[in-house]
Amino acid sequence: MNGSKRASLTLEIVLILAALLFLLPVLYLVVMTFKEPRLFYKPLAMPDRLYLDYYKLALGTSFFRSMFNSLLVTVGGLALTILVASMAGFVLARRREKLFLFFFYLFMSGMVIPTVGSLIPLFKLASLLHLINTRTLLILLYTAGFIPFASFLYSAFTKSIPRELEEAGSIDGCGSLRMFWVIIFPLLLPATGTFILTNVYGIWNDFLTPLIFLNSPDKMTLMPTIVQFMFNKQSTNYGPVFAISVLAMLPLLLLFVLTQKRMLRGLVMGSVKG
């Protein structure tokens, strides 16, 4: 008994060390932002006082505008997806006609088809629609990308709602749209929560889409802004770049720590479909 206890403690210590190793880059990133320039290129030195100039520099750039843009496309993309996919997922679960089956499989195929090659024709399509360099386009693209997973999620959740509720609604003679938003949608909130907590990271952390479809600094989201900030000069001044990275990462790290359990459940659900 005693031997196994000791073994368990040893294992725990080994795991804590491994965990610290995983945390190290994040801790290093944060610590470095408080180191004054003379210490910055001595990676092992600790900061000897709180040096905040990097943050002043970072905030002096277009940081807040980029943050706002990121927030806008993240909230917009998630909201539009929830709006259209909840309605679609609901009817896909309820109707058995050919048309709905066809769309169910069409959406599901979107989970397998990669969009790598589609980016180029999309660029042309966006030009035709005068959507290049608009945040609206980003919202539409994120929505199109999430529709397969989100409608699948909503249709799976719909099956757990008793049909009697809808019939009760239709007898009262309220329109089907109102019935959906007043009666059904609140019951689908767990699916909405799962969807948001799983996919908020994907949009916030996305680098490729804004890189391709946005070109003016006032529309740019956080991730490409950080990279431009880094590539700006011949030799990168890492201090401010680290500071802006910490600021960009902070909201999501907080969200993750607070909603870890739910997000992990969602991740597993999301990964099952591939």
Partner 1 sequence: MNLKRKQYAAAVLFLIPAAAIFILFFYVPFLQSIYYSFTDWTGVGRPKFTGWTNYAYLWKDPHMTDGLLNSLKMAAFGLVVQNPLALLAAVLLNRQFRTGSFIRTSFYLPVVVSLVVASVVWGQMLQYDGLINAVLGRFGLESVTEDWLGNVRTSFPAIILLTQWQAIGYCAIIYLAGLQAIPQDMYEAAEIEGARGFSLFRRITLPMLMPAVTIVLFLTVVGALKMFDLPYILTNGGPGTSSYTLFLAVYNAAFKDNNYGYATAGGIVLAIFIVIVSIAQLSATRRKEVEL
Q: Which of residues 102-161 bind partner 1 (CB under 8 A)?
A: 103, 106-107, 110, 112-122, 124-125, 140-141, 143-145, 147-148, 151
* Sites for partner 1 among residues 156-185 (CB under 8 A): 170, 176-177, 180
**Tokens for 58?**
């970072």
Residue 254: CB minimum distance to partner 1, A: 10
> Quick one: 106 or 189, whose CB is closer to partner 1?
106
Q: Are 77 and 138 in contact (CB under 8 A)?
A: yes
Find the binder of partner 1 among 7, 10, 19, 48 (CB under 8 A): 19
CA-to-CA separations, 50 to 8, 36, 55, 254, in angstroms, rounded: 39, 8, 11, 22
Spatial distance between the Cα atoms of 261 and 254, rounded to a whole number of angstroms: 13
By CB under 8 A, residue 230 contacts partner 1 = yes
In angstroms, what is the minimal distance from the CB of 164 to partner 1? 15
Q: Which is nearer to partner 1, 115 or 160 (CB)?
A: 115
Task: Give me the least distance between CB of 192 and partner 1, in Å please.
Answer: 15
Stretch that binds partner 1, among 60-68, 157-165, 187-195, 249-257 (CB under 8 A): 249-257
CB atoms inside a 10 Å sphere around CB 65: 16
Query: What letter does residue 184 receive in the DSSP assignment?
Result: I
Q: Which residues contact 139 (CB under 8 A, 6 or more apart)?
A: 73, 76, 77, 80
Residue 25: exposure state from Cβ atoms within 10 A (0-12, 13-18, ≥19): exposed
From the list 25-33, 53-61, 155-163, 187-195, the region that binds partner 1 by CB under 8 A is 25-33
